[in-house]
Chain A
Amino acid sequence: MSVQACPACSAGPMAEAVAQAGKGDQKVMLSLPEIHCAGCISGVERSLMAMPGVRNARVNLTLKRATVDVDTGIQPADLATALTARGYTAHELDAGTLAATQTDNRGRELLMRLGVAGFAMMNVMLLSVAVWAGAADATRDMFHWISATIAIPTIAFSGQPFFRNALSALKAARLNMDVPISLAILLAAGMSIYETAMHGEHAYFDAALSLTFFLLAGRYLDHRTRSVARSAAEELAALEVPRALKITGDTETMTPIAELAVGDLVRVLPGGRVPVDGIITTGNSEIDRSLLTGESLPVFAGPDTMLSAGEVNLTGALTVRVTAAGEDSTLHRLTDLVAIAETTRNRYTSLADKAARIYAPLVHLLAFGAFLGWLIGTGDMRLSINIAVAVLIITCPCALGLAVPAVTTAASGRLFRQGMLIKNATALERLAEVDTVVFDKTGTLTQGRPQLVDPGSYAPDDLALAQALARGSSHPLAAALSEVVPDNLPYTSPTQVRQLSDSLLQHEIPGHGVQGDLNGQTLRLGRADWVGADPVVGTATYLDTGTHTVAFRFTDSLREGAAEAVAGLKAQGKTVILLSGDHPSAVADIAARTGIDAFEAQVLPDEKVAYINRLRDSGHKVLMVGDGLNDTAALAAAHASISPASALEATRVVSDIVLLGNTLTPLADAVLTAQSATRRIKENFAIAALYNSIAIPIALIGLATPLAAALAMSASSVSVSLNALRLR
């Protein structure tokens, strides 16, 4: 995906949805994360069109998404599966969640105003050049009048975003960047009309218009960056289709979670995420709670076990009675935390705001001072106003208005290509200030996927039996056992294991393990208490061969790039800390493998927050990287936060940056990019200040001409944009 996805683009599908409403009965959205070429586009479209019930299919390569019109009754999940089977990875997207992103009227409106301002600016500039070249008297007046007829309606239309913002700021008795902007545009236009009517020499129509144009361009860039981030974030959310299998009598129906009520029965299949808070009524299974607690060890769940939304069911099908759904569920209660996080974040003053706070009053004072000075000095009202307006125009925040958006657009584009999504406008600036990085373990530094420790240390017969039994289960530990192929043991060749496995007649006992039969001897692979083995520390599964028991120990496999990211951050002089809710031995193991010196285990969620608050109080700026619900509060408390795309939505919402890929490698680079982005922003301010320090004295002594204003404005805007582009 590229950052070139302009918001006007995402405005499209909605309009079409209306136009196309008659064609298909139902609209389905599919996410196609891997498509990249012309062949993919026609391949996906042809495959979709060939499927029964599909009326129309259109791929959007920019958004990596397909919109499909289908007859009612076609299951979107089936389309995604069929497409994946043909080699185009596809995921179903929840159309309800996406609908919000599709109407980007604001982006389209800004683009429209920008287009009008550009047209008017070019035409007026054409006429102005004629005036500067020496047109005089009646010709000059005519050119000015034509300029006025183009400029006035354009300013009335294109300047509205600024006027509106300025008005609301003034109503709240505040000064923002839009106040001097609006004042400069309006005064320039008003003064120019007066001058034209009085057959004056100087009219600033071109300046008023180019001011509008450049600032609208900055505004549009800003909007585009944010809407790309928003639409990608919402696409992540839409990937989790909020549906549950509701049991009514003998039938199971797919029901939106919002429609579930307390007391309803819901079926949770193995591998599925628990959609609601509830109590198990029937079924046994093991539950992966790592997203909520950080524990890597699955826990047993049987009738009367309480489940929370967000947990993953591993082995057996469960029937769950809903105790809290939707707004009341554990997941939703976290929105309160999110709200708190938003307010702490909002207290952060961005560089742009800081600049505006100094800039706005300064400009007004300067212009007013110039007016007073010249009025007292010469007594000429018209001249004094002209000079004051020239000061306002020349100090125009053109470069300031472009300084920040141009840099953030370039920086977020660069990070986006590396697989990082910047969600918050001030995230880059905060990330640049970070000096301490706190990692969560399970799901962040590790993949949450177990790996057998030292396969060579087990007796070949035991390993072969365990592997044969493991083939009868889809439990993550069983899957990890099956993956092991020790090359020094010819006995356990995959074929032999398969033959052994077929002869065992193994069957899974959900929540406990797998049982098999070898020559009348019962074999068991599963939990320690069920097998009758002494539990060992850490993640393990146990084999009972009838004669003895063996513990197979597992460790979590590291996420790709975890060690590189830690090394990169340490090389930048950052303190790296590992905080986990997991067992000390597991945490120490991961810390050693990633090269982290400081770690703490068995940390409860509120202790994580307290830890981060302590760091903050001692003057550190903390970056928190985490994925679990137990990290949510800590992510919110930290100065900046990053979460992987595999995190739950509630967690992603509180983080500033989402890692879209599966690797942590870009992490260290992201901090560097953020630092250079902040440096560019400051450089841009310096460039703007430099232009002003030359232009203001000229304006103050009354030597500014419309030509000088046009030159200063264009030169500063272009140099600021070019400086920002160095980031790409």
Chain B
Amino acid sequence: MQVLVFLIPISLFLGGVGLVAFFWTLKSSQYDDPEGDAHRILSDEYDDSPAP
């Protein structure tokens, strides 16, 4: 059972990383144009910033 001392914090930390990543995508408007983003990957032009 000693292993729980490590496992629980690790699992919470990993979940927290996912949550922070979700916040980041939300804040940087990455759900702005889901269809456009799906098509943009086919474009030859290289653009490194998703906005504006």
A639 CA / B32 CA spacing, docked (Å): 36
Q: Are B26 and A6 in contact (CB under 8 A)?
A: no
Q: Determine whether the beta carbon of B42 is less than 8 Å from that of A38.
A: yes
Q: How far is the CB of A119 from chain B (nearest CB, A)?
A: 4
Interface residues of A in 209-223 (CB under 8 A from B): none
Q: Report which residue of B11, B19, B39 has the largest number of chain A beta carbons within 10 angstroms of its beta carbon.
A: B39
Cα separation A61 to B33 with both chains bound (whole Å): 6
On whether the beta carbons of A8 and B19 are closer than 8 Å, the reply is no
Which residues of B3-46 have CB atoms within 8 Å of chain A's CB atoms? 4, 8, 11-12, 15-16, 18-19, 22-23, 26, 29, 31-36, 39-45
CB distance from B38 to the nearest CB of A (A): 8
Q: Which of A9, A41, A42, A119 touches B15 (beta carbons < 8 Å)?
A: A119
Contact A62 B26, CB 8 Å, known A38-B40, A119-B18: no
Residues facing B in A273-322 (CB within 8 A) are none
Q: Which of A110-118, A166-174, A199-207, A449-457 contacts B (4 or more CB under 8 A)?
A: A110-118
Which one, A4, A69, A108, A111, contacts B34 given CB within 8 A? A4
Contacts of B1 in A (CB 8 A): 139
Provide the bound-state CA to CA distance between A169 and B1, in Å.
48
Q: Which residues of B contact A20 (CB under 8 A)?
A: 52
A13 adjacent to B36 (CB under 8 Å): no
- Cβ of A67 and Cβ of B52 under 8 Å apart? yes
CA distance A10 to B31 in the complex (A): 9
Residue of chain A at shortest CB distance from B18: A119
Quick one: closest B residue to A65, CB to CB?
Answer: B33
Q: What is the interface size of chain A, counting residues whose CB is below 8 A from a CB of the partner? A: 39
Decide if A61 touches B26 in the complex (CB within 8 Å). no
Q: Are A58 and B15 in contact (CB under 8 A)?
A: no
How far apart are B2's CB and chain A's nearest CB, in angstroms?
A: 12
A11 at the interface (CB under 8 A from B): yes
Q: In the docked arrangement, what's the CA distance between A63 and B32, Å? A: 9
Q: Distance in Å from the Cβ of B51 to the closest Cβ of chain A? A: 5
Given A112-B23, A112-B26, A115-B26, also A42-B32 (CB < 8 A): no
Closest residue on chain B to residue A36 by CB atoms: B39
Most buried by A among B12, B32, B39: B32
Q: Which of B16, B31, B40, B45 has most chain A Cβ within 10 Å?
A: B31
Measured between alpha carbons, how far is A119 from B15 in the docked complex, in Å?
7
Is B23 a contact partner of A60 (Cβ separation < 8 A)? no
Distance between Cα atoms of A139 and B4 in the complex (Å)? 10
A12 within 8 A of B: yes
By the criterion CB–CB under 8 Å, are B32 and A62 in contact?
yes
Query: What residues of chain A lie closer than 8 Å to B52, measured between beta carbons?
Result: 13, 16, 19-20, 56, 58, 67, 69
- The listed residue (A19, A62, A122, A127) touching B33 by CB distance below 8 A is A62
A537 within 8 A of B: no
Cβ of A9 and Cβ of B45 under 8 Å apart?
A: no
Q: Report the count of interface residues on B (CB-CB < 8 A).
A: 28
Closest residue on chain A to residue B38 by CB atoms: A61
Task: Kindly list chain B residues whose C-beta atoms are within 8 Å of the C-beta of A122.
Answer: 15
Within A1-34, which residues are at the interface with B (CB < 8 Å)? 2, 4, 6, 8-13, 15-16, 19-20
- B39: which of A2, A19, A37, A112 is its contact (CB, 8 Å)? A37
Contacts A19-B51, A126-B11 given; indicate if A60 touches B32 (C-beta within 8 A): yes
Q: Within 8 Å of chain B (Cβ to Cβ): is A146? A: yes
With both beta carbons as reference points, the residue of chain B lying nearest to A127 in the complex is identified as B8
CB pair A2–B15 under 8 Å, yes or no, is no
CB within 8 Å of B: which A122-149 residues: 122-123, 126-127, 139, 146
CA distance A119 to B11 in the complex (A): 11
Q: How far is the CB of B35 from chain A (nearest CB, A)?
A: 5
Q: A69 vs B52: C-alpha distance in the bound complex, in angstroms?
A: 10
Contact residues in B for A497 (Cβ distance below 8 Å): none
Q: CB within 8 A of B22: which of A6, A11, A38, A115?
A: A115
**A667 near B: Cβ within 8 Å?**
no
Question: Within 8 Å CB of B22, what residues of A?
Answer: 115, 119
| A699 interface residue (CB < 8 Å to B) | no
Using A20-B52, A116-B19, A146-B8 as known contacts, say yes or no to A60 and B26 having CB atoms under 8 A apart: no
Residue A645 interfacial (CB < 8 Å): no
A-B contacts besides A8-B29, A115-B23, A146-B8, 15 pairs, CB < 8 Å: A2-B35, A11-B32, A12-B29, A13-B52, A15-B29, A16-B51, A60-B36, A61-B35, A61-B39, A63-B33, A111-B26, A111-B31, A116-B19, A119-B16, A119-B22
- Pairs A-B, 4 closest by C-beta atoms: A12-B29, A61-B36, A12-B32, A38-B39
Residues of chain B having any CB pair with chain A under 8 Å:
1, 4, 8, 11-12, 15-16, 18-19, 22-23, 26, 29, 31-36, 39-45, 51-52
Q: Sample 27 A-B pairs with CB under 8 A, ordered by A number.
A: A2-B35, A4-B34, A6-B31, A8-B31, A9-B34, A11-B32, A38-B41, A41-B43, A42-B44, A42-B45, A56-B52, A58-B52, A60-B33, A60-B36, A61-B33, A62-B32, A62-B34, A62-B35, A67-B52, A111-B26, A115-B19, A115-B22, A115-B23, A119-B15, A119-B16, A122-B15, A127-B8
